[in-house]
Amino acid sequence: MTQCTVQLGDRSYPIHIAPGLLSQRAPFDVLGDRPCLLLTDENLARLHLPRVQATLGLADDRCLIIPPGELQKSWDQAERLLDALLARHFARDGVLLTLGGGVIGDLGGFVAALYQRGIDFLQIPTTLLAQVDSSVGGKTAVNHPRGKNMIGAFHQPIAVIADLDTLATLPPRELRAGIAEVIKYGLLGDAAFFAWLETHLDALLRLDPDITAQTIAHCCQMKARIVAEDERETVGSGVRALLNLGHTFGHAIETHTGYTEWLHGEAVATGMVMAADCSARMGWITAETADRARDLIARAGLPVKPPPGMTVEGFKALMGHDKKVAKGRLRLVLMRALGQAELTADFDPAALDATLADAIA
């Protein structure tokens, strides 16, 4: 088993990464004998919930099961869940467990942050995306029709338990969406990892156990380091904002398509191609580096162009809702080199226009 720690003083927590964890009590020992409720979706309830229930002795009436999908990451669903917790007289010493992908983790974490001014929650991520990214770092949120993740809170989990066996049931499209976030780590901060991925992508696509475990551990270690350095994505720091490489473009695509047609990872994939293209147009990276980024993303079976129907002005209006906007100015995460991203407000507007125009052409 790999274990890394997100170092945040007295709020530090472990990330356990191994196959078979859902059947073992030890990673859940942090729960002690505290009351638990578990949030999951209908797919996970069918596929993996029984194992968790057996391990923890969790009765059916302790499990909150909602439909799957990004549309559940909504204020309405959060309110329903808060009501369910109240109806069960769930007390502040309770722990909310989230079994699922980033939607369940973000939504459940948000509910945990709000309920009675904040209760503990524990992440059990079951998608590649959630195991390498969303379950770690304490960003919780729901979407708003005007913008992705616009209503949220920072609220760290007390532990993350990533059972690699859960990935065996993941639909291939969801696996590819997770690979987008994996590639992101290489592009933003680790050229050697990017090159390693170029070699091992096919093994990752077929979920080779060693390559998958190494990939997840590496990404979690990178994320843990970044979160420890800049937990709340401080405006002046720009460290954690680097994890948003491709996201300003990607969130615009997700909002444009109403959070239904494109998976988050797919939108991020196209967004990273656009960020690389913009960086190349500004002379920050070579065209060859931008091509390497695009090629690996395409090899992973991910989209490299936005959906039809988007316009340059529409794109820019949606990008203006980004949480990285500061002092009224849009800030973009661009690439200075392979493995070296940078948050900047000083991008060339003409390069951005050309990037958008070329992408939608």
Residue numbers at the binding site for ligand GLY (CB under 6 A)? 133, 137, 139, 240, 243-244
* Cα 276 to Cα 333: distance, rounded to the nearest angstrom: 10
Range in contact with ligand NAD (rule: CB under 6 A) among 8-16, 53-61, 98-106, 203-211 = 98-106
* Cα 84 to Cα 78: distance, rounded to the nearest angstrom: 10
Q: Which does 41 bind (CB under 5 to 8 A by kind): ligand GLY, ligand NAD, none?
A: ligand NAD
* Cα 30 to Cα 3: distance, rounded to the nearest angstrom: 14
**Active-site hit among 233, 254, 266, 342:** 233
Binding residue (CB under 6 A) for ligand NAD from 129, 211, 216, 341: 129
247 among known catalytic residues: yes
Count of C-beta atoms within a 10 Å radius of residue 327: 7
Which residue number, 14 or 69, has a Cβ lying nearer to ligand NAD? 69
Q: Which does 129 bind (CB under 5 to 8 A by kind): ligand NAD, ligand GLY, none?
A: ligand NAD
Question: Contact between 331 and ligand NAD (CB under 6 A)?
Answer: no
Residue 70 in tokens: 């990004």
H/E stretch holding 332: strand 332-337
Count of C-beta atoms within a 10 Å radius of residue 360: 16
Q: Residue 154: is it exposed, middle or buried by C-beta count within 10 angstroms (0-12/13-18/19+)? A: middle
Which residue number, 94 or 102, has a Cβ lying nearer to ligand NAD? 102
Q: Which does 68 bind (CB under 5 to 8 A by kind): ligand GLY, ligand NAD, none?
A: ligand NAD
Token look-up 């859940």 returns 28
Q: C-alpha distances in angstroms, 181 versus 110, 128, 132, 237, 290?
A: 21, 9, 7, 22, 17
**Active-site hit among 16, 73, 148, 264:** 264
Q: Nearest residue by C-beta to ligand GLY?
A: 243
> Taking CB under 6 A as the rule, which mask of x and - marks residues 73-92 in contact with ligand NAD?
x-------------------
Pairing of strands 340-344, 332-337: antiparallel
Token look-up 């500061």 returns 326
Binding residues for ligand NAD (CB under 6 A): 41, 43-44, 47, 68-70, 73, 100-104, 106, 126-127, 129-130, 133-134, 137, 139, 149, 166, 169-170, 174, 177, 263-265
Active site residues: 117, 139, 181, 223, 233, 240, 244, 247, 251, 264
